[in-house]
């Protein structure tokens, strides 16, 4: 077995890259399985190295491409902060280019994940597991997990870019892009093969980051569910069969969590709803990248914590500067007001101690846990902060100021302030007294609720509105006292927009919104807040980064970006 540094497009830690589609090898040592692997612990360490990359991959640039380009989130310019050379506006207005860093980071991150998994697979294939008192069945399971992980990375790459180079070993160089259909078929082959050898999750087993049979089946369902937007071939019936089988526990034992926050709590690894998640633990593998982006510089006082933040992201507004709702202006967006009255999640976030908390948002007066006002440092320097579900320069309204009254205020990406926008607290934050629980909530990747919604949408598309409504309501009811939903889904109110609203409500901030809009042909054709439709279909995919093409002249650009 040879150990090597893999080059894929610029460095991450020990990995560097000089070409985006060239999995070069520089051999710095030559070792054998007998000398490199000493125990089962060594095998597991190798197996889970590419999973660590997957945890990183699920956040940051990939999340930004999914959410800041869609209708639920924005990073407005806040006075002297966050213009960022126009980057945030380019993505919000769908004016990105092949030189944008988020796109480059996602292309190279995808192929790096493939390379890491292929590297580990190559190593483990050479091992005789019986020498470690391990079975051949376990070896087959480990190799299948790596196939599934490769399928996971390529599935995301297909979603972002369409066809990508298909690597099946590390000695291939400068490959051209495979077609969309070829990549789709490769993903399907990987997942179907993995499904045969990966064991199912047993009832009561906590999630620890490994891919189980249920996760593979769910990824295959995701592939089919979005096939129409990937390869122009509707495969909702195939997705429907898989989703129903998962719900029927054919691929492992899962059930919807009865608690509204069970899938996101400090102990969500024990939630029966989690099909696949990434472990998170304080001062170890932390799921925390979002903290700095979402919260105000002084929000640490709200949480009674010691962490700083950058005050960037927030929900797109549900209300105009004058306080009226955007209801009649557009059908997408307005995420906060899409939550119904009485929904447990709609409360302001409050940590109650001992791992208990309520609410999911920061909105209204910003107060310390003992009720003292938290003051601002920019437009509201030394004044109490009050987070509003609006975008506008309210500090510039009044006698002798830029605007005489609120009705004159524009609401757009350039007009934010330090208190602009509702902030999401989906992963709970404890106070310093319970700091050992910090980052205790694992990163959910696939939840059973998603499978319910896939099945619901498939039923909707085939005309079974009553079953679609029933499936969604089974998830919704846990968010209300005594399971009495104030606004249940019915056959009368269920249409394309209600479905998109339900995806938004349940999976707000979980890095999937763009994919849902693309599937419904709404990403480029619909209006929301400060975003007008382009009707430019090529924007449903991102361009191949220019840095990737510079490193491999066999790559061809996506149509519309030439």
Give the pLDDT confidence score for residue 9 in this predicted structure. 36
Has residue 379 got a pLDDT over 60? yes
Give the pLDDT confidence score for residue 34 in this predicted structure. 56
Residues 521, 401: one domain? no
Residues 6+ apart with CB under 8 A from 420: 76, 78, 314, 387, 388, 390, 391, 392
**Residue 446 to residues 212, 217, 442, 515, Cα–Cα distance (Å):** 11, 11, 12, 15
**Diameter over CA atoms, the chain:** 82
Cβ-based neighbour number of residue 38 at 10 Å: 10
In a domain, 430, yes or no: yes
Give the pLDDT confidence score for residue 7 in this predicted structure. 35
Distance between CA atoms of residues 209 and 320, nearest Å: 43
Residues 428, 526: one domain? no
Give the pLDDT confidence score for residue 10 in this predicted structure. 32
Which of 414, 438, 462 finishes a domain? 438
Which of 404, 438, 472 finishes a domain? 438
Give the pLDDT confidence score for residue 549 in this predicted structure. 97
Confidence of residue 27 (pLDDT cuts 50, 70, 90): very low
Higher pLDDT, 204 or 217: 217
In a domain, 173, yes or no: yes
Has residue 442 got a pLDDT over 60? yes
Q: Is this structure's pTM higher than 0.85?
A: yes
In a domain, 166, yes or no: yes
Instruction: State the residue range of the domain holding 299.
Output: 288-438
Q: Would you say 298 and 376 are in contact if contact means Cβ atoms under 8 Å apart?
A: yes
Query: Please, how many CA atoms are within 13 Å of residue 394, restricted to the half-sphere of its CB?
Result: 17
Confidence of residue 32 (pLDDT cuts 50, 70, 90): low
Residues 433, 561: one domain? no
pLDDT digits (tens, 9 = 90+) for 220-274: 999 999 999 999 999 999 999 999 999 999 999 999 999 999 999 999 999 999 9
In a domain, 94, yes or no: yes
pLDDT digits (tens, 9 = 90+) for 402-432: 999 999 999 999 999 999 999 999 999 999 9
**Domain containing residue 150: CATH number:** 1.25.40.390
Confidence of residue 204 (pLDDT cuts 50, 70, 90): confident
Which of 386, 405, 438 finishes a domain? 438
Residues 381, 511: one domain? no
Residues 434, 513: one domain? no
**Residue 385 to residues 273, 335, 374, 376, Cα–Cα distance (Å):** 37, 22, 6, 6
pLDDT digits (tens, 9 = 90+) for 151-193: 999 999 999 999 999 999 998 888 999 999 999 999 999 999 9
Give the pLDDT confidence score for residue 33 in this predicted structure. 54
Has residue 283 got a pLDDT over 90? no
Give the pLDDT confidence score for residue 11 in this predicted structure. 35
Has residue 471 got a pLDDT over 80? yes
In a domain, 161, yes or no: yes
Residues 181, 44: one domain? yes
- What residues form DSSP beta bridges with 252? 201
Give the pLDDT confidence score for residue 35 in this predicted structure. 60
pLDDT digits (tens, 9 = 90+) for 472-488: 999 999 999 999 999 99
In a domain, 488, yes or no: no
What's the token pair of residue 63?
């999340």
Residues 71, 158: one domain? yes
Calculate what percentage of the chain has a pLDDT beyond 90: 90
Distance between CA atoms of residues 487 and 350, nearest Å: 25
Residues 310, 418: one domain? yes
Residues 6+ apart with CB under 8 A from 283: none
Mean predicted lDDT score pLDDT of the chain: 93
Has residue 24 got a pLDDT over 50? no
DSSP H or E segment with residue 352: strand 350-353
Calculate what percentage of the chain has a pLDDT beyond 70: 94
In a domain, 227, yes or no: no
Residues 300, 400: one domain? yes
Residues 404, 517: one domain? no
Residues 424, 542: one domain? no
Has residue 513 got a pLDDT over 50? yes
DSSP H or E segment with residue 452: helix 448-461
Q: Would you say 24 and 173 are in contact if contact means Cβ atoms under 8 Å apart?
A: yes
Has residue 140 got a pLDDT over 80? yes
Q: Would you say 472 and 460 are in contact if contact means Cβ atoms under 8 Å apart?
A: no
Give the pLDDT confidence score for residue 285 in this predicted structure. 87
Classified as helix, coil or strand, 246 is helix
Residues 300, 188: one domain? no
In a domain, 225, yes or no: no
Give me the number of domains the chain comprises. Answer: 2
**Residue 418 to residues 298, 388, 422, 512, Cα–Cα distance (Å):** 11, 10, 11, 27
């Amino acid at each position: 077995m040879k150990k090597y540094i893999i080059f894929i497009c610029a460095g991450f830690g020990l990995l560097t890259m000089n070409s985006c589609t060239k999995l070069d090898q520089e051999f710095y040592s030559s070792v054998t399985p007998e000398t490199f692997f000493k125990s089962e612990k060594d095998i597991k360490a190798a197996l889970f190295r590419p999973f660590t990359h997957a945890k990183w991959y699920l956040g940051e640039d990939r999340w930004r491409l999914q959410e800041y380009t869609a209708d639920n989130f924005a990073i407005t310019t806040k006075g002297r902060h966050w213009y960022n050379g126009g980057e945030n506006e380019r993505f919000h207005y769908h004016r990105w280019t092949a030189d944008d860093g988020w796109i480059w980071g996602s292309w190279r991150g995808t192929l790096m994940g493939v390379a890491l998994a292929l590297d580990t697979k190559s190593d483990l294939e050479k091992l005789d597991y019986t020498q470690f008192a391990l079975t051949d069945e376990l070896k087959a399971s480990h190799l299948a997990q790596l196939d599934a992980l490769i399928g996971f990375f390529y599935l995301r790459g297909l979603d972002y870019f369409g066809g990508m180079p298909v690597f099946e070993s590390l000695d291939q160089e400068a490959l051209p892009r495979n077609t969309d259909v070829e990549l789709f078929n490769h993903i399907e082959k990987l997942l179907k093969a993995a499904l045969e050898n990966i064991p199912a999750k047993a009832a009561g087993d906590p999630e620890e980051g490994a891919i189980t049979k249920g996760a593979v089946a769910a990824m295959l369902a995701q592939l089919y569910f979005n096939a129409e937007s990937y390869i122009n071939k509707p495969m909702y019936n195939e997705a429907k069969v898989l989703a129903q089988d998962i719900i029927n526990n054919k691929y492992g034992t899962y059930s919807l969590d009865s608690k509204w926050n069970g899938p996101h709590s400090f102990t969500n690894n024990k939630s029966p709803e989690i099909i696949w998640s990434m472990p998170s633990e304080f001062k170890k593998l932390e799921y925390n990248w979002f903290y700095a982006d979402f919260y105000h510089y002084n929000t640490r006082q709200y949480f009674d914590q010691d962490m700083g933040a950058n005050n960037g992201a927030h929900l797109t507004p549900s209300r105009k500067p004058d306080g009226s709702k955007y209801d009649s202006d557009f059908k997408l967006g307005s995420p906060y007001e899409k939550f119904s009255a009485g929904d447990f999640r709609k409360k302001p976030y409050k940590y109650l101690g001992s791992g208990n908390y309520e609410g999911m948002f920061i909105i209204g007066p910003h107060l310390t846990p003992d009720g003292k006002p938290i003051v601002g440092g920019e437009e509201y320097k030394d004044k109490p902060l009050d987070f509003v579900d609006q975008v506008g320069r309210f500090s510039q309204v009044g006698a002798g100021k830029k605007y005489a009254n609120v009705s004159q205020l524009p609401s757009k990406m350039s007009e934010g302030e330090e208190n602009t926008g509702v902030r999401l607290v989906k992963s709970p934050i404890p106070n310093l007294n319970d700091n050992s629980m910090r980052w205790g909530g694992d990163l959910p990747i696939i939840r059973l609720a998603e499978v319910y919604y896939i099945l619901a949408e498939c039923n909707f598309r085939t005309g079974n509105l009553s079953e679609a409504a029933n499936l969604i309501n089974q998830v919704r009811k846990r968010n209300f006292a005594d399971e009495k939903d104030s606004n249940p889904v019915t056959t009368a109110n269920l249409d394309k927009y209600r479905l998109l609203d339900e995806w938004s409500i349940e999976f707000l901030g979980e890095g999937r919104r763009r994919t849902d809009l693309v599937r419904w042909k709404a990403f480029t054709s619909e209006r929301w807040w400060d975003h007008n439709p382009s009707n430019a279909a090529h924007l449903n995919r991102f361009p191949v980064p220019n840095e990737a093409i510079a490193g491999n002249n066999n790559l061809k650009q996506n149509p519309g970006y030439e």
